[in-house]
Structure 1
């Protein structure tokens, strides 16, 4: 395996419009073991490993915005937009739903355990050791207060140090200086947001740069579970994939959402998942293409070009990981040339998603170009063909200016 680097310093004033983003502030971990399922990157991680990662982030005061996509998340993300991208931009993305685990298994991916947001909260609650401080933001009127009281009644690994139920206000109204100051002044280690999936993810991203809480996540049902207004399904129900039935029992208004998601899942299984699984299983590995995979990085002005060749799969991605890390150490517009790439798998696609997400976070260009029909087909089967969308106008202008 060979990694080629050809670097030179960016030219000054090539693009006066480039956003002033500090590479010391926004970094992406390209070493994460991520895999693409239904167009989203998922970390192959156990409940125990996820708990440890959150605890480490809280103790070291390192930002960890983690998302817990379930089937409803995945279905909604198929429409694209900021909701999908909020998951891709997360520091951790876990499979909160047995249907996603089953799909991963069908695709031969090492995502073998459901890591539910509520289960993760309980794991942190029941663990021994240093206590983590929690702040509840959202939930029905009065429920966050009840949750705080009930959480603090008995000794556990979590203690609530603040809560706020903002009601049905807009994201802007819920993002006032007073609101953010109250959260920051609480010195919480873990901010639990419960505003509805789309609104919650949007609120988090809108305020992430202002929040001093290291661990942040939208865990919509957790506040209700802790308060006892909604009973959590027994573990065995969740493992069998029947939590949706339990949730309908507890919250009958959810039936329509689960019904629509179920119909969409059946359609996805027929049109995407099964054809994708057949393509994965029928693929004949080209050992020579894997062994001779190459990647090169060049920089010109404000633009970074990454050229790859050969076949890229879970076992040989380290050179790509290293190049992506180098390419994002400084804010660049990034263009990938995959004209000589013959095959990519779910792990490679997820890694491309992390790069796409990083560029989205720093508001710089991302372009994946010159892909073969085979690569385009794979991206489409994995619901990741949005990575092939044309480079932004800003990126194109920057590339043109840099090559003059």
Structure 2
């Protein structure tokens, strides 16, 4: 929900190498939209699986953030177990600004440990912003904001029973454990209802109405023009999940040329979320290089699909 209104947070999600579906509403929406997400994977599920998988040597984790003393407790619990994780350290930066948490001394303190997995717990927006600011300075190959994980390991917060997780009530359990969370969940719930009514349900109805066209299997035709400053890609045909296989290597090759990219959709009658997901990957890699992706000649139906998928920011000119 934060990504809907906060550009910096949205960019941090797009820039991530892995985004897991942490939330049952995401799974319910995916089923409604015929997107193949088989199950929820919470960040804590991922860490619990790594903890339970006894590997040699164990994965070296470091905790950055959390309440005072919680990181130390989490490290003790992990290191007392013969498990797949080994805690190499922790740091509690307090409640300062991102700048105050990003000093050379702090980054050096983190980097002096041989970390495999850096777990950040600063609050979602702040944690993502801290990671974005410092990722190029951090030596850990894997970095993730997993706010509740440090509390689960320390035992200061108990995780919801499995049955509550499966039916989508973990949020209710979290409020019982941490009452201050109710404001966040209430606010997110209202915004989610607006997203559901304004974007998800209209898109789901449209998918069922247009299902015949979405079953098309003719691959999209790709024509490319290139000059010293820009690559122009002309697409012909439906750009949907079943037809865009050939686009992936083309986009990958275009990224290596380090130029702005313009995609012409004049001869594209229909797109879907899979195509937009591919465009977001292209957007991510171009952004990291300092280049841009732009679109032209989009029909009204496809503009609506950009909107329904919360990807209108890709086409600000329309």
Task: Give the TM bin, normalised by the shorter chain.
Answer: over 0.9
Task: Say if 1:344 and 1:375, in contact at 8 Å, map to a contact too.
Answer: yes
Instruction: Report the Cα offset of residue 80 of structure 1.
Output: 4.0
Partner SS for 1:357: helix
Partner SS for 2:224: strand
Partner SS for 2:269: strand
Q: Which has the higher contact order (CA 8 A, sep 6+)?
A: 1
Are 1:172 and 2:106 matched, yes or no?
no
Are 1:272 and 2:199 matched, yes or no?
yes
Are 1:202 and 2:132 matched, yes or no?
no
Partner SS for 1:285: helix
Task: Say if 1:290 and 1:312, in contact at 8 Å, map to a contact too.
Answer: no
1:286-340 CA-to-partner distances (Å, cap 9, x unmatched) read: 4897415212233311322222121022122221111110011132212211111
- Which residue number in structure 2 is paired with residue 378 of structure 1? 305
| Equivalent residues in 2 for 1:314-393, closer than 5 Å | 314-390=241-317
Partner SS for 1:191: strand
- Which residue number in structure 1 is paired with residue 225 of structure 2? 298
Could you tell me how far apart the structure 2 residues matched to 1:314 and 1:134 are? 37
Are 1:114 and 2:40 matched, yes or no?
yes
Question: Structure 2 vs 1, CA of residues 324 and 153 (structure 1 numbering), >3 Å: closer, same or farther?
Answer: same
* Count of equivalent residues: 317
Task: Say if 2:220 and 2:244, in contact at 8 Å, map to a contact too.
Answer: no
1:236-265 CA-to-partner distances (Å, cap 9, x unmatched) read: 211110001100000001111111222222
Partner SS for 2:242: helix
Could you tell me how far apart the structure 2 residues matched to 1:375 and 1:290 are? 19
- Which residue number in structure 2 is paired with residue 84 of structure 1? 10
Task: Say if 1:133 and 1:190, in contact at 8 Å, map to a contact too.
Answer: yes
Task: Say if 2:171 and 2:185, in contact at 8 Å, map to a contact too.
Answer: yes
Task: Say if 2:215 and 2:242, in contact at 8 Å, map to a contact too.
Answer: no
The alignment's TM-score, normalised by the length of structure 2, stands at 0.95
Task: Say if 2:236 and 2:268, in contact at 8 Å, map to a contact too.
Answer: yes
Instruction: Report the Cα offset of residue 267 of structure 1.
Output: 2.3
Could you tell me how far apart the structure 2 residues matched to 1:355 and 1:299 are? 17
1:198-244 CA-to-partner distances (Å, cap 9, x unmatched) read: 11111111111111111111001111111111111122211110001
- Which residue number in structure 1 is paired with residue 184 of structure 2? 257
Q: Which runs of 5+ in 1 are unaligned?
A: 1-74, 392-404
| Equivalent residues in 2 for 1:4-403, closer than 5 Å | 75-130=1-56, 131-286=58-213, 290-390=217-317
Task: Say if 2:219 and 2:245, in contact at 8 Å, map to a contact too.
Answer: no
Q: Which runs of 5+ in 2 are unaligned?
A: none
Could you tell me how far apart the structure 2 residues matched to 1:326 and 1:259 are? 44
Could you tell me how far apart the structure 2 residues matched to 1:236 and 1:289 are? 40
- Which residue number in structure 2 is paired with residue 13 of structure 1? none
Question: Structure 2 vs 1, CA of residues 376 and 287 (structure 1 numbering), >3 Å: closer, same or farther?
Answer: closer
Task: Say if 2:216 and 2:242, in contact at 8 Å, map to a contact too.
Answer: no
Could you tell me how far apart the structure 2 residues matched to 1:390 and 1:269 are? 25
Instruction: Report the Cα offset of residue 115 of structure 1.
Output: 0.6
Instruction: Report the Cα offset of residue 274 of structure 1.
Output: 1.0
